Amino acid sequence: MAIRELAEEMSLGEYAGLAHAAIDELVGVNGTAVVAGGTGLYLRAALVDMAVPPAPGPGTRERWETVYDADPQAAHAQLEELDHAAAAAVHPNDRRRVVRALELAEAGASLVPADDRLWSEEMRRPTLVAGLDVSREVLEQRIRERTEEMFARGVVGEARTALQMPVSRTAEKALGLRELAELAPEAAFERIVARTRRYAAYQRKWMRRIPGIVMIDADRPPAEVADAILEVARTG
Report the pLDDT value the prediction gives residue 1, as an integer from 0 to 100: 61
So what CATH class is 12-49+120-235? Answer: alpha beta
Domain with CATH 1.10.20.140 in the chain: 60-106
Report the pLDDT value the prediction gives residue 114, as an integer from 0 to 100: 63
- H or E segment to which residue 158 belongs: helix 155-162
Digits of tens for pLDDT over the chain (236 positions)?
678 888 888 888 888 999 999 999 999 999 999 999 878 888 888 998 877 777 777 889 999 999 999 999 999 999 999 999 889 989 999 998 999 999 989 888 888 766 555 566 688 999 999 999 999 999 999 999 999 999 999 999 999 998 898 988 888 888 999 899 889 999 999 999 999 999 999 888 888 888 889 999 999 999 999 999 999 998 86
Return the number of other C-beta atoms located less than 10 Å from residue 209's C-beta.
11
Report the pLDDT value the prediction gives residue 118, as an integer from 0 to 100: 55
So what CATH class is 60-106? Answer: mainly alpha
In this structure, what are the phi and psi dihedrals at residue 175, rounded to the nearest 5 degrees? -60, 120
Neighbour-count burial of 176, counting CB atoms closer than 10 A to its CB (0-12 exposed, 13-18 middle, 19+ buried): buried
CA distances from 147 to 18, 153, 174, 202 (A): 30, 10, 14, 19
Tell me how far apart the alpha carbons of residues 130 and 10 are, in angstroms, rounded to a whole number. Answer: 26
Among 95, 110, 92, 8, smallest CA distance to 54 is for 110
Tell me how far apart the alpha carbons of residues 105 and 101 are, in angstroms, rounded to a whole number. Answer: 6
Is 196 within 8 Å of 147 (Cβ atoms)? yes
The pTM score is: 0.74
Domain with CATH 3.40.50.300 in the chain: 12-49+120-235
Which regions of the chain does DSSP assign to beta strands (E)? 130-133, 214-217
- Length in residues, the chain: 236
